[in-house]
Amino acid sequence: CTSVIAVDDRGKVWHARNLDFGLFLGWDPKVHDWMISAVLRKMVVNINWYRDGKILYKSNNFAGFVGIYNGMKQGEFTVTANERFVEKDQGGRTGIMKWLSGEMADAKWMTWLTRETMENCNSYEEAKEHLSNTEMLSPVYYILSGTKPDQACIITRSWEKADSVTEITSRKDPWFILQTNYDPDVEPLYLDDRQTPGDNCMRKLGRRNVGFQGIYNVLSSRTNLNKLTTYTVLIQTDTGAFETHLQSCPGDCWPF
């Protein structure tokens, strides 16, 4: 996955992500695609979540899936979740076993914690606190943005709490965050380096060209776009604009 938060030269915050899903879940040699990714592309829906007759927040989901990978509360905050790989005994499957044994009975499932944050938190700061400190069953990166230029961060999660919170203002380029599936202070595996090309493409885009078109083109560039990419979602929290574009990478394209 690749999540992007970028602040344009007027201070407006934009948030987007590529969802890559289905690694090692069946390669179809006839069409050169991952089987699960191909099926999931047909199941993408946008959802307006209503409470008290009003839209509370927006998300996109796979049909039949009740949790949330990406959500936007207009005028308040947006969150996207990227998978985090950790050592074997600290992953999601071990988390499930601990939950079943009662050791982590109150811990939250990742996509349901995202949903609860959308439903119960009313500001960027509240969301940041909730996503950082609620016990959960699997590691993840939460990429969170608000509506002000300094409201953007990567929350690097393990079971109990955040291992770190990386603010946009601490970045080498303090106007954008591009997060793939590695801790912010760790160099990506050379075979899976989507960070370096993504960062370079963002710098080519430049702050003055930040917007749906510019970020979409960055996320449509290889290898941030790859055979696992199922969609790109583009979000502007102030206006509530929320666009999901189906994606694929036909032909010669890196498999992940």
Partner 1 sequence: DLPAPYSDHCILDDGTNLYDPKNADAVPWYNVDLDKPPKERWVQIATDYKDHIHELIETLKGLILPSHPDALSLIDDFFGEMNLKIAQPYQDEIASIAEATDIPVGEIVMYNIFYEIFTV
- Kindly list the catalytic residues: 1
Q: Is 51 in the site for partner 1 (CB under 8 A)?
A: yes
Nearer to partner 1, 150 or 196 (CB): 196
Burial letters for 166-183: b for 16+ Cβ neighbours within 10 Å, e otherwise?
bebeebeeebbbbbbbbb
Distance CA 250, CA 124 (A): 38
Distance CA 82, CA 19 (A): 8
**Cβ 81 to partner 1 shortest distance, Å:** 8
Given a contact cutoff of 8 angstroms between Cβ atoms, the answer to whether 27 and 34 are in contact is yes
Q: Is 30 in the site for partner 1 (CB under 8 A)?
A: no
Q: Is 64 in the site for partner 1 (CB under 8 A)?
A: yes
Within positions 129 to 168, which residues make up the interface with partner 1, using CB under 8 A?
137-140
**Cβ 168 to partner 1 shortest distance, Å:** 21
Helix (H) or strand (E) holding 179: strand 176-179
Q: Is 240 in the site for partner 1 (CB under 8 A)?
A: no
CB under 8 A, 24+ apart: contacts of 53-59: 56/118, 56/119, 57/118, 57/119, 58/240, 58/242, 59/115, 59/118
**Cβ 87 to partner 1 shortest distance, Å:** 9
Distance CA 35, CA 22 (A): 8
Q: Is 75 in the site for partner 1 (CB under 8 A)?
A: no
Q: Is 47 in the site for partner 1 (CB under 8 A)?
A: yes
Binding site for partner 1 (CB under 8 A): 25-26, 35-36, 39-40, 42-53, 56, 60, 63-67, 83-85, 88, 91-93, 95-96, 100, 109-112, 119, 137-140, 191, 196-197, 200-201, 204-205, 212-214, 216-218, 220-223, 231, 243-246, 252-254
